[in-house]
Amino acid sequence: MNIADLRKSYEKAELSESASHSDPLKQFDQWLKEAISGELPEPNAMTVATVGPDLRPSTRVVLIKGFDERGIVWYTNYHSRKGSELAGNPFAALQFHWVELERVVRIEGRVERVSAEESDAYFHSRPLDSRIGAWASPQSQVIDSRAVLVTNAAKYGAQFLLNPPRPPHWGGFRLVPDRWEFWQGRKSRLHDRLRYRLEGGTWVRERLAP
């Protein structure tokens, strides 16, 4: 099989100015709800792109855990690669790809840590094994084998029993959007792309060529 010959015609829907929201957050809310109600696999999965001090970009997939007018929230180890890169360059890009709906959402903006109270509340809502895992994994660091993780999990499980506190190196990030882009696949590669950019506190909606 020649991968260059793999093609798909996008014909499920359209995205017009008249049928879209003037507020990108409302448009995102609508599309996310449609992805969830459509029972897509992991509709809450998003790619996070950051840039390190060497100007090399890196991406990884995380799960969105909340959104409102303040921004998009996810949780992670602050000592991970993404955490370290965001500490040095607090800007990132997010991407949702809902393949079955032939849709992509891209979001760009400044990133900040959520409050300790928000991080505590979410951490204590997680299953016990996930809370222990936050202590057990020195995320992004080199380890000798999987046995390191298993040993750490056993150690912290015995130490904290049913009530592990939130690790000081673990918590939430919030991306505060200044750009959104909604992409809807269309026939003949004439896709719909609507970009929203923040200008003087107001969202400006523009159509981009595909």
Comparing CA positions, the residue from 178, 176, 24, 44 lying closest to residue 114 is 176
CA gap 109, 25 in Å, rounded: 14
User: Between β-strands 170-184 and 66-68, what pairing exists: parallel, antiparallel or unpaired?
Assistant: unpaired
Comparing CA positions, the residue from 174, 167, 7 lying closest to residue 74 is 174
CA dihedral 81, 85, 86, 92 (to 10 degrees): -90
195 is catalytic: no
Residue from 189, 195, 205, 207 carrying the catalytic annotation: 189
* Single-letter residue type at 169: H
Q: Identify the helix (H) or strand (E) that includes residue 168.
A: none
Residues forming the active site: 189
